[in-house]
């Protein structure tokens, strides 16, 4: 193989240059050797895989150690021993040698002795070898028993047969998005007292092909024991093989020094920047300029905070990179993320994350300097939302993207001070089948009393009337006469119109005892706004007056094969003959959406039937009627009083199922003007990235939550 001529240059490099080897990286080689990695950073990018570590051959800063020329081993007295410094003259004989009880040392850690110790950035190690050759003086003649290494395994066997080819084998992978193809690479070494010229290494690729190359090294100089840096450019394809989603790195490096009387390695590495060979200006570390103010966040609120520009200053103007931990060095809470490239914290606390955290932020300058400061982050309990009586409030809540994390939202609901607190919409939904014939004259007679009673409690009352019988088909109802629902009068404040509409009622027919009262209630709910005119901010009530039980889903379908299920809309298919009766869950959902509280006025034989229905609907009240409805006005008054004391809280428009629970969701016998507190528990369902959810106290007020999932940097 063709050999490259050894290039030597003056070597007075300070530690600042070496420390750049562990700075934030660029995905390309950088010609600025003193400040490598100043290109566009890629988070987590591969920068270097190092066999051994940067620790001054295990001597650290060499404090108190003397070089063979008589001066300090550390030339500038700063940081660790590195290029331009000296390996120490341990026996003080004015020369560096392992002969005749010379200057052997063995500063290897247990991890280095094991042979597989690697450090660096952006790789996954698959068993790289060679660390047993680092932080150790290697030579052909070595008085093993007098060395601190005595008793620890020596590479290559017995010290009388020491290796002249220290071998370093790299075996690792790198994700492709962390290292573009054909990125320039370098083999870098840090050696002590290397005297043999030319300096050679034997490079063996994964395919077994070998090539001998000469190192480009810093100047040796005339003083014995000089520490030198050296590098060789590497072809990307000689190091990496394509393995689909990642690069497979493999390289064997043999340091060819058959006549070297004294040799030591601090580390050997493959990196995207060549090791500096010339002196660099002394780096000035970053400084803390201004403390970071205390921050706070509550569950239901996404936290996003960027470290202020004025928090740190770098005297050299170096770009800063940031890391963050808790003050004691522990990782940040699991809900809190940190982007070191932008210096931004973000996250969403949930239940159980309340507390005070002292967070340590460290700024590094990409060379060797760093500074840190701490700030307080408080996660405080969430106060929740207050829903006014008869009104609505809109709030926002950001929930954690973790499907196992919940967020509890307290909701305070103010109940009406009295029955007259809120405007009142009353939709009388009346049974007009034959069994009600003795009740109808009473109803017509008591309408003025009913109007007077309701308006005395709430002058702002509107009245409407709807009627029902049953499906016009035998044996359910009478063809041509019966009907499942009819709007007779939309809501109006005009008492005369209400009286006239009731006066015009005539009794129809229903063949079987159950009637279409459930379907009529569904139609009131689905027609509430567009047709019937229920007002926003008013209490919505539907008074169902009947002396019969109700038909429900399946009753009609069992009589006629092929009848489809009720689709829950406002279209009466063929006067109800084109679809089945609705189900109780359908009616429940429609009432909740329309914000209607039902009041069932029924005769005593039907009390239990409708009490069971109210239990299924989760809202409403049942009041007993006398046989001929003579107590109708008192019954309606009692029903309104009941709904003023009983409250049901439901969720509507939760398309993605973020609401996990509402606790409690019902209140009975509440005194007027009471503030109710419910806890709405939210959790990400794994669908969507946000939704508008309505938490409704039926007949009282709405909480509209603009729900978001997670928070972005």
Residue 87 has pLDDT above 90, yes or no: yes
102 lies in some domain: yes
Q: What is the DSSP string of 154-199?
A: PTTSSGGG--SS-EEEEEEEEEGGGS-TT--EEEEEEEES---SS-
Residue 18 has pLDDT above 50, yes or no: no
Closest of 473, 556, 479 to residue 518, by C-alpha: 556
| Number of neighbours of residue 286 by Cβ within 10 angstroms | 23
- Burial category of 535 from C-beta neighbours within 10 Å (exposed 0-12, middle 13-18, buried 19 and up): middle
Q: How far is CA 187 from the centre of its chain?
A: 40
The answer to whether residues 109 and 171 belong to one domain is: yes
Task: Tell me the per-residue pLDDT of 338-383, one tens digit each, with 9 for 90 and over.
Answer: 988 789 999 999 999 999 999 999 998 876 678 999 999 999 999 9
Alpha-carbon gap, residue 707 to 682, rounded angstroms: 9
Structural domains of the chain, count: 4
**CATH code, domain with 353:** 2.60.40.10
Residue 1 has pLDDT above 50, yes or no: no
Residue 158 has pLDDT above 60, yes or no: no
Tell if the pTM clears 0.85, that is, is over it. no
| Chosen domain end from 271, 296, 317 | 271
Residue 689's domain comprises 385-417+649-709
**CB-CB contact of 464 with 527 (8 Å):** no
281 lies in some domain: no
Alpha-carbon gap, residue 257 to 247, rounded angstroms: 31
25 lies in some domain: yes
Q: How many Cα neighbours within 13 Å face the side chain of 98?
A: 25
The answer to whether residues 394 and 373 belong to one domain is: no
How far is the CA of 293 from the CAs of 240, 306, 319, 329, 359, in angstroms?
47, 11, 23, 20, 11
Task: Name the token pair of 199.
Answer: 């300096």
Non-local (6+) Cβ contacts of 437 within 8 A are 507
Task: Tell me the per-residue pLDDT of 521-559, one tens digit each, with 9 for 90 and over.
Answer: 999 999 999 899 999 888 899 999 998 999 999 999 998
**CATH code, domain with 595:** 3.40.50.410
What average pLDDT does the segment 204-229 reach?
A: 90
| Residue 157, pLDDT score | 57
How far is the CA of 50 from the CAs of 13, 46, 67, 270, 514, in angstroms?
20, 12, 27, 7, 85
Confidence of residue 331 (pLDDT cuts 50, 70, 90): very high
What average pLDDT does the segment 158-182 reach?
A: 83
Closest of 510, 508, 507, 506 to residue 477, by C-alpha: 510
The answer to whether residues 534 and 608 belong to one domain is: yes
Residue 622 has pLDDT above 70, yes or no: yes
pLDDT over 70, % of the chain: 88
Residue 5 has pLDDT above 50, yes or no: no
Alpha-carbon gap, residue 509 to 432, rounded angstroms: 8
316 lies in some domain: yes
| Residue 589, pLDDT score | 93
**CB-CB contact of 469 with 480 (8 Å):** no
**CATH code, domain with 684:** 2.60.40.1510
Residue 7 has pLDDT above 80, yes or no: no
Non-local (6+) Cβ contacts of 31 within 8 A are none
Alpha-carbon gap, residue 50 to 431, rounded angstroms: 88
Task: Tell me the per-residue pLDDT of 629-672, one tens digit each, with 9 for 90 and over.
Answer: 788 888 888 888 887 788 899 998 899 999 999 999 999 888 88
Residue 505 has pLDDT above 50, yes or no: yes
Confidence of residue 509 (pLDDT cuts 50, 70, 90): low
242 lies in some domain: yes
The answer to whether residues 142 and 233 belong to one domain is: yes
Closest of 589, 565, 568 to residue 653, by C-alpha: 589
620 lies in some domain: yes
The answer to whether residues 633 and 675 belong to one domain is: no
What average pLDDT does the segment 147-173 reach?
A: 73
512 lies in some domain: yes
**CB-CB contact of 70 with 94 (8 Å):** yes
The answer to whether residues 129 and 112 belong to one domain is: yes
Confidence of residue 163 (pLDDT cuts 50, 70, 90): low
435 compared with 95, residue with greater pLDDT = 95
The answer to whether residues 115 and 250 belong to one domain is: yes
| Residue 16, pLDDT score | 32
Residue 20: which region, alpha, beta or left (left: phi > 0; alpha: psi -120 to 50)?
Answer: alpha
| Residue 510, pLDDT score | 61
Residue 471 has pLDDT above 60, yes or no: yes
Strand order in the sheet with 596-603: 486-492, 461-468, 424-431, 539-546, 596-603, 621-625
| Residue 681, pLDDT score | 95
Residue 422 has pLDDT above 90, yes or no: no
Confidence of residue 285 (pLDDT cuts 50, 70, 90): confident
Residue 144 has pLDDT above 80, yes or no: no
**Sign, Cα dihedral of 557, 561, 564, 570:** negative
| Residue 148, pLDDT score | 60
Closest of 282, 312, 288 to residue 20, by C-alpha: 282
Non-local (6+) Cβ contacts of 99 within 8 A are 139, 141, 261
The answer to whether residues 468 and 576 belong to one domain is: yes
The answer to whether residues 509 and 536 belong to one domain is: yes
The answer to whether residues 548 and 691 belong to one domain is: no
Mean pLDDT of the chain: 86
| Residue 260, pLDDT score | 76
| Residue 447, pLDDT score | 87
The answer to whether residues 565 and 669 belong to one domain is: no
Confidence of residue 27 (pLDDT cuts 50, 70, 90): very low
- Burial category of 499 from C-beta neighbours within 10 Å (exposed 0-12, middle 13-18, buried 19 and up): middle
The answer to whether residues 297 and 430 belong to one domain is: no
* 3-class DSSP assignment, residue 412: strand
280 lies in some domain: no
Task: Name the token pair of 422.
Answer: 């809120």
Confidence of residue 42 (pLDDT cuts 50, 70, 90): low
Query: What is residue 538's DSSP assignment?
Result: S
| Helix H or strand E encompassing 482 | none
């Amino acid at each position: 193989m063709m050999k490259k001529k050894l290039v030597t240059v003056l070597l007075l490099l300070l530690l600042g240059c070496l420390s750049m080897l562990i700075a934030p990286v660029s995905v390309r080689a950088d010609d600025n050797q003193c400040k490598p990695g100043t290109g566009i950073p890629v988070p987590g990018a591969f920068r270097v895989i190092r066999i051994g570590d940067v620790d001054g051959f295990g001597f650290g800063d060499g404090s108190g150690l003397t070089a063979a020329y008589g001066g300090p081993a550390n030339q500038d007295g700063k940081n660790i021993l590195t290029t331009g410094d000296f390996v120490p003259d341990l026996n003080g004989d004015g020369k560096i040698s392992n002969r005749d009880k010379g200057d052997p040392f063995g500063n290897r850690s247990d991890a280095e002795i094991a042979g597989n110790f690697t450090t660096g950035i952006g790789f996954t190690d698959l068993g790289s070898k060679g660390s047993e050759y680092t932080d150790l003086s290697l030579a052909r003649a070595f008085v093993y028993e007098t060395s601190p290494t005595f008793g620890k395994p020596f590479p290559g066997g017995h010290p009388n047969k020491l290796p002249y080819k220290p071998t370093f084998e790299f075996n690792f992978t790198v994700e492709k998005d962390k290292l573009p193809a054909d990125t320039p690479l370098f083999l870098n070494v840090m050696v002590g007292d290397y005297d043999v010229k030319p300096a050679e290494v034997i490079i063996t690729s994964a395919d077994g092909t070998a090539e001998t190359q000469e190192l480009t090294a810093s100047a040796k100089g005339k003083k014995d024991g000089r520490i030198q840096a050296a590098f060789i450019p590497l072809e990307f394809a000689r190091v990496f093989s394509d393995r689909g989603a990642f690069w497979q790195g493999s390289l064997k490096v043999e340091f060819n020094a058959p006549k070297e009387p004294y040799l030591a390695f601090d580390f050997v590495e493959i990196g995207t920047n060549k090791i500096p060979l010339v002196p660099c200006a002394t780096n000035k570390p970053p400084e803390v300029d201004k403390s970071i103010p205390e921050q706070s966040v509550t569950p239901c609120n996404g936290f996003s905070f960027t470290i202020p520009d004025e928090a740190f200053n770098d005297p050299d103007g170096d770009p800063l990179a940031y890391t963050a931990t808790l003050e004691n060095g522990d990782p940040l809470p699991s809900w809190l993320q940190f982007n070191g490239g932008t210096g931004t914290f973000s996250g969403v606390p949930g239940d159980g994350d309340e507390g005070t955290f002292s967070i340590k932020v460290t700024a590094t300058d990409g060379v060797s300097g760093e500074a840190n400061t701490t700030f307080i982050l408080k996660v405080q309990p969430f106060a929740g939302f207050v829903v006014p009586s008869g009104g609505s409030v809109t709030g926002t809540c950001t929930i954690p993207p973790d499907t196992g994390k919940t967020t509890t939202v307290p909701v305070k609901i103010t109940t009406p001070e009295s029955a007259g607190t809120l405007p009142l919409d009353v939709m009388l939904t009346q049974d007009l089948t034959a069994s009600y014939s003795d009740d109808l004259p009473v109803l017509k007679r008591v309408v003025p009393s009913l109007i007077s009673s309701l308006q005395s409690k709430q002058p702002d009352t509107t009245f409407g009337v709807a009627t029902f019988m049953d499906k016009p088909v035998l044996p359910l109802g009478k063809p041509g006469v019966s009907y499942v629902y009819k709007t007779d009068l939309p809501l109006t404040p005009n008492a005369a119109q209400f009286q006239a509409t009731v006066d015009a009622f005539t009794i129809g027919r229903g063949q079987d005892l159950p009637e279409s009262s459930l379907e009529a209630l569904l139609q009131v709910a689905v027609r509430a706004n567009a047709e019937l005119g229920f007002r926003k901010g008013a209490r919505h009530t539907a008074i169902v007056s009947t002396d019969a039980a109700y038909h429900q889903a399946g009753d009609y379908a069992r009589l006629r094969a092929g009848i489809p299920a009720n689709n829950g809309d406002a279209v009466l298919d063929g006067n109800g003959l084109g679809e089945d009766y609705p189900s109780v869950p359908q009616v429940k959902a429609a009432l909740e959406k329309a914000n209607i509280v039902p009041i069932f006025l029924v005769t005593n034989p039907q009390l239990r039937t409708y009490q069971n229905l109210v239990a299924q609907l989760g809202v409403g009240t049942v009041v007993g009627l006398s046989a001929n409805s003579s107590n109708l006005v008192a019954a309606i008054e009692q029903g309104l009083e009941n709904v003023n004391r009983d409250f049901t809280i439901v969720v509507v428009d939760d398309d993605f199922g973020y609401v996990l629970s509402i606790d409690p969701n019902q209140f009975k016998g509440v005194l007027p003007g009471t503030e109710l507190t419910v806890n709405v528990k939210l959790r990400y369902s794994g669908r969507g990235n946000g939704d508008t959810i309505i938490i409704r106290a039926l007949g009282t007020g709405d909480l509209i939550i603009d729900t978001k999932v997670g928070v972005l940097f």
